């Protein structure tokens, strides 16, 4: 992921856009837009066969911020809890196993000098944090629970998906993101590790356990790239394009969403993965910055509000969704208020609502 090539939308633009929308949109008025717990409705969806009854959702906070340069993303888990994600899970009929946040405060590492051909920021620290995430995710997946991990930046996927692969090695991965996050330490221009988890897990970078802090990866099962599907891509680095085409990875960009519609795109994505446990890795920057501005690498032209929800709803309706990451929600990027809600709160509430959709929330 190259920070210099992403399009950051100035926050004042959203405020001016919102004011134009509020004055021009017939029927919107100036009242409160219904969001949050008031929009959560339980619909009976069968529990995935590999999860135990009564069905239980393990909630794990992963406030990891070292995989990218923006402060504030570590506040994502607490902000999502404050927005009501725990109450939403209960309202949707799940039992709860609340783990709180994984503690990174006592981690002390020495960053080693890397080979000149590697461009990788803070690998020892990111790796040590991910080892802790890996252990708690693996434990809960092995206990046959739904595992919901709240990030944190997308580098947590090395730990979360590593844990899921260890418990459910035939898992299929739906990666919803503006970015592919498949650079290697050899190809990354930024060196930010939130752009590398898929290359480490798939062994496109052949020996990730040799990276400082990543010895724990030695026995983590390899992610089969034919069990990976991208949805919502629109900002790719040159070598990421190469990896996707060279390895014949199923990838649906925003072009495909425009061409086929989100329903057909998700249908094709799920058909490709087949009948297997599913992991949904959801970066909030997959959504258009008009609806999700408070994220570190916003890119114009993303999923609409309903498209964003449909992906999560369709994955849940397969009856095979067993885990989810929700990442890159950065409530510190507050901006100005529009429609009576700050931009940071708007993004947090969207993230909470998408997670609720993955757990069974429906319109009807």
Catalytic residues: 154, 177, 179, 181, 194, 283, 285, 328
Q: Tokens representing 62?
A: 């992963």
For the chain, the distance separating the N- and C-terminal CA atoms, rounded to the nearest angstrom, is 38
**What stretches of the chain show up as alpha helix (H) in DSSP?**
11-24, 76-82, 85-91, 123-142, 157-167, 197-202, 238-246, 254-260, 262-273, 305-317, 343-358
- Which residues fall within 8 angstroms of residue 15, CB to CB, at 6 or more apart? 335, 336, 337, 338, 343
Cα distance between residue 141 and residue 47, in whole Å: 15
Cα distance between residue 205 and residue 177, in whole Å: 21
Q: With beta carbons less than 8 A apart as the criterion, state whether 295 and 285 touch.
A: yes
Cα distance between residue 149 and residue 99, in whole Å: 10
Give residue for tokens 């649906």: 252
Q: With beta carbons less than 8 A apart as the criterion, state whether 2 and 326 touch.
A: no
Q: Give the distance from CA 223 to its chain's centroid.
A: 17
Cα distance between residue 125 and residue 110, in whole Å: 8
Q: Facing residues of 229 across strands?
A: 174, 250
Q: Tokens representing 117?
A: 């051909």
Q: With beta carbons less than 8 A apart as the criterion, state whether 283 and 162 touch.
A: no
């Amino acid at each position: 992921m190259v920070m210099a090539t992403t399009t950051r939308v100035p926050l004042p633009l959203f405020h001016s856009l919102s004011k134009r929308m509020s004055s021009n949109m017939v029927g919107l008025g100036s009242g409160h837009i219904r969001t949050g717990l008031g929009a959560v409705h339980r619909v009976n969806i069968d529990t995935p066969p590999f999860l135990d009854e009564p069905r239980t959702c393990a909630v794990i906070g992963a406030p990891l911020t070292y995989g990218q340069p923006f402060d504030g993303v570590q506040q994502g888990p607490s902000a999502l809890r404050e927005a009501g994600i725990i109450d939403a899970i209960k309202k949707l009929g799940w039992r709860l196993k609340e783990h709180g946040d994984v503690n990174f405060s006592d981690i002390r590492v020495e960053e080693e000098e890397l080979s000149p051909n590697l461009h990788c920021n803070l690998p020892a620290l990111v790796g040590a944090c991910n080892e802790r995430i890996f252990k708690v995710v693996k434990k809960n997946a092995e206990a046959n629970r739904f595992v919901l991990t709240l990030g944190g930046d997308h580098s947590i996927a090395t730990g979360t998906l590593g844990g899921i692969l260890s418990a459910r090695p035939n898992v299929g991965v739906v990666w919803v993101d503006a970015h592919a996050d498949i650079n290697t330490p050899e190809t990354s221009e930024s060196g930010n590790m939130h752009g590398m988890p898929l290359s480490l897990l798939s062994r496109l970078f052949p020996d990730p356990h040799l990276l400082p802090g990543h010895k724990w990866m030695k026995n983590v099962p390899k992610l089969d790239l034919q069990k990976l599907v991208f949805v919502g891509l629109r900002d790719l680095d040159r070598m990421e394009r190469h990896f996707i085409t060279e390895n014949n990875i199923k990838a649906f960009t925003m072009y495909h969403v425009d061409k086929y519609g989100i329903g057909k795109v998700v249908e094709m994505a799920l058909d490709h993965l087949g009948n297997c446990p599913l992991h949904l890795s959801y970066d909030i920057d997959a959504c258009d910055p008009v609806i999700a501005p408070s994220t570190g690498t916003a890119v114009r032209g993303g999923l609409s509000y309903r498209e964003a929800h449909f992906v999560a709803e369709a994955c849940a309706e397969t009856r095979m969704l067993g885990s989810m990451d929700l990442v890159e929600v950065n409530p510190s990027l507050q901006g100005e208020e529009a429609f009576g809600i700050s931009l940071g709160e708007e993004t947090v509430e969207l993230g909470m609502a998408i997670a609720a959709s993955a757990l069974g929330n429906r319109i009807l």
